[in-house]
Amino acid sequence: MSENKGKFLGIIGGMGAEAGAVLYQRLIKLTPVEVDQDHIETLIYSNTSIPDRTKGILKQGPSSYPPLLESAKLLERNKVDLMILACVTSHYYIEDLRKEIKCRILSAVEETVEQIQLRAPSAKKVGILATTGTVKTEQFQKALLRAGITPLVLPDEIQEKYVMQALYAPDGIKVGYQQPARDKMLLSLNWFILNGADAAISGCSEFPLLFGQDDCLVPLIDAMDALMRKTIFICTGKKALETER
């Protein structure tokens, strides 16, 4: 890393591959720059061999933790200063990773709650749109309760029929089909509005491929956007742009 640069960033991607690529593209578009050299020096490891996070967490498949740890160690060997995970569900393992890895690892869950307090300070009830793995491990629920906010989650049947099918069905986002997946996700999002949510969390790195704030009647806090904003501030000392270029 050159001496005139800021922090050297490491990204663990590949969960899925497109979501990791889009995260990096959005990071570029949110970083305030005047010349190429102002961008964050970044090492991305798109490790597509990491097993499905939800299946691993729910004991329906192999654990994602060993390859996540190896990915983090690879980045650490390359002397990154800061590390982020391009998958919200994988944050289930973040405390274990923090025990093993010396450099700082940011949490999308922690940064999301901070963004809620900034953008929707009067919110009392917040809907959590996330994978079943994230919902079942209560990552966002616990963080919201610590902040004095009531979490709202989808009924199991809606969670599985719409959220998980939007991701994993034959016409889902993981195989590249956006419109059917988008339709399912908007139905899920509307459930929160109808049930009194003052704000909602977009809690998966693949959700921004399908919908955004324009599709939501209450403040929508994108977990990966929150993560990127803190990343940009730490790496450059500057606030992220309000909107992508």
* Catalytic option among 103, 204, 216, 235: 204
Active-site residue, 216 included: no
Residue 140 Cα distances to 55, 120, 169, angstroms: 19, 16, 25
Burial code (b: 16+ CB inside 10 Å, e: under 16) for 156-194 equals eeebebbbbbbbbbeebbbeeeeeebbebbbebbebbee
Active-site residue, 204 included: yes
Residues serving a catalytic function are 87, 204
